[in-house]
Amino acid sequence: MQLTGMGSQYLMAVRSGDGKYLSGADIYRLTLLAGIPESRFWSVMAYDRQTRSMLQTDQRKPDVSSQSGTVQENPDGSIDIYFGPTAPDGKAGNSMQTVPGKGYFVILRLYSPLPAFVDKTWRPSEIEPI
């Protein structure tokens, strides 16, 4: 049954792929494989672990999403998202600024998710330190 047009599914991550808590001083990469299972839009945001509010940085909002209009796709259709105090060269549109000394967690949101999320045939990469 496809009831499109409403709702979302969320995934949260507090730790990186090596099992350590995400640190605002380190640089990480998250890869969203092609075919992100949403029929409206997707969003990745970072939140302060102490206040559970959005990270407050020089960026207007700690958000990289299909609606931001700045996200670059890889040749295979996947999308790399970077977290760190500074953005890698040429990746500012795919980067989220973090604060050294401050922990955070990440929420991936899929609006109007598709079956690939429910049956888990699609999965995001772990947030890997680089």
Partner 1 sequence: MTCGSGGSPTSACPGRTGRRAANTCSSAPGTTARYRKWFPRRAFPDVTGRRVRPPVHGRQRPRTRSQDHQGRVADLPLLPRNRGHPGRGVPGRQGTARAARAAARNDIPQGLGIVVQHGPTERLHLLGHHQRTGATRTSRRRRPAHPGTAGLGRRITKGKPFAPDDPLRGILEDAVAVGNATARTVSFAPREEGGFTYHEDSNWFNMLFVGGYEFLDPPPQITPNGVVPSRSDWARKLNRTRRSSTPTPGSRPRRACSSPGWGRST
The phi, psi pair for 128, rounded to 5°, reads -100, 135
Q: Does 9 bind partner 1 (CB under 8 A)?
A: yes
Assess contact for 98 and 83: CB atoms under 8 A.
yes
Q: Residue 21 Cβ, how far from partner 1 at the closest point, in Å? A: 7
Query: Contacting partner 1 (CB under 8 A), which of 72, 74, 115, 130?
Result: 115
Query: Which helix (H) or strand (E) segment is 118 a member of?
Result: helix 115-118
115 has which bridge partners?
A: none
Q: Segment near partner 1 (CB under 8 A), from 47-55, 66-74, 77-85, 86-94?
A: 47-55
CA-to-CA distance for 35 and 116, rounded, in angstroms?
9
Which stretches of the chain bind partner 1, using CB under 8 A?
1-17, 19, 21, 37, 39, 48-54, 56, 105, 108, 112-115, 117-118, 120, 123-124, 126-127
